[in-house]
């Protein structure tokens, strides 16, 4: 029997995460009987000790809030994509113990949009300014031909967005969060905010909406996603992103392509059981 291999998702809070469901489904399909995938509630203060205590059985880590930036100083190498967005959601441990960080959110966002037929748009609006928003900006380089308007809270977040635009080579027009309702008319709207943050925008959904990508997956649908769908708009959900980025994580950690169909089915079943 092969030696056991371990992987896990870290974050705080973490109990809601569907990552264990998706990765375990992949391991079952791929016949990786000695692989395990767990979830650990780890905050920024506890991250260095946790990572430092991992042994050679560990293959990789998935990272969610608030650790996507906190992990950076603990890595030996960072992929160009992760460096551009200043955020890592995937760590792979090499045979020599080296820790390599990557960001599968960026290609995952592109794949989720293209799966729903979104190849190109002439402009887009993004709600939020966290790590997922930065990944969204990088992904939009492959999707959006024109400027991106970002609706954010606070001067610091606005400055971070300006800097991101310069780093990524895209035009980002930053606007205050109080004007977020004006972004609903864009052909592509991406909400990277926590659950409940966009509920107040429901009454502003256009009569003929474009595409909404809402990265929340639990609870689903969000109030905005439900209103958008009812108005006839296309909705891409957080589970779509979660599955596509997890498929890439499975391949990075195991060396074998993640089974998209089975992983999606496992995620849908888990969400249905919660509701």
How many other β-carbons are positioned within 10 Å of the β-carbon of residue 120? 11
Out of 68, 182, 195, 261, pick the active-site residue. Answer: 68
Q: CA 143, CA 122: separation in Å to the nearest integer? A: 8
Specify whether the CB–CB gap between 124 and 116 falls below 8 A: no
Specify whether 182 is catalytic: no
Q: CA 210, CA 271: separation in Å to the nearest integer? A: 26
How many other β-carbons are positioned within 10 Å of the β-carbon of residue 144? 23
Q: Which of 103, 101, 161, 112 is nearest to 137 (CA)?
A: 161
Radius of gyration of the chain (CA): 18
For 271, the enclosing helix (H) or strand (E) is helix 260-274
Q: CA 140, CA 234: separation in Å to the nearest integer? A: 17
Q: Given the structure tokens 């080296």, which residue do they identify?
A: 98
Q: CA 242, CA 247: separation in Å to the nearest integer? A: 9
Coil, strand or helix at 2: coil
CA-CA distances (angstroms) from residue 31 to 8, 141, 159? Answer: 18, 37, 47
Specify whether the CB–CB gap between 182 and 162 falls below 8 A: no
**Catalytic residue annotation:** 68
């Amino acid at each position: 029997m092969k030696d056991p291999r371990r992987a896990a998702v870290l974050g705080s809070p973490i109990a809601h995460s569907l990552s264990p469901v998706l990765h375990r489904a992949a391991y079952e399909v791929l016949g990786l009987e000695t692989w395990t995938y767990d979830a650990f509630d780890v905050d920024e203060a506890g991250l260095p000790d946790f990572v430092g205590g991992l042994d050679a059985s560990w293959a990789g880590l998935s990272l969610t809030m608030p650790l996507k930036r906190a992990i950076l100083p603990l890595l030996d190498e960072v992929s160009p994509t992760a460096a551009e967005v200043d955020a890592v959601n995937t760590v792979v441990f090499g045979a020599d113990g080296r820790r390599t960080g990557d960001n599968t959110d960026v290609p995952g966002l592109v794949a989720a949009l293209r799966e729903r037929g979104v190849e190109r748009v002439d402009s887009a609006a993004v709600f939020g300014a966290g790590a997922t928003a930065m990944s969204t900006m990088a992904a939009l380089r492959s999707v959006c031909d024109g400027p991106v308007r970002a609706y954010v809270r606070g001067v610091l977040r606005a400055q971070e967005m300006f800097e991101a635009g310069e780093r990524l080579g895209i035009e980002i027009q930053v606007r205050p969060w109080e004007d977020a309702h004006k972004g609903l008319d864009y052909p592509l709207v991406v909400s990277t905010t926590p659950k409940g943050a966009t509920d107040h925008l429901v009454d502003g959904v256009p009569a003929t909406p474009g595409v909404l990508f809402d990265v929340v997956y639990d609870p689903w649908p969000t109030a905005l996603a439900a209103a958008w769908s009812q108005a006839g708009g296309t909705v891409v959900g957080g589970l779509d992103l979660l599955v596509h980025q997890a498929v890439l994580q499975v391949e990075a950690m195991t060396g074998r392509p993640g089974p998209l169909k089975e992983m999606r089915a496992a995620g849908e079943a888990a969400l249905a059981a919660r509701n």
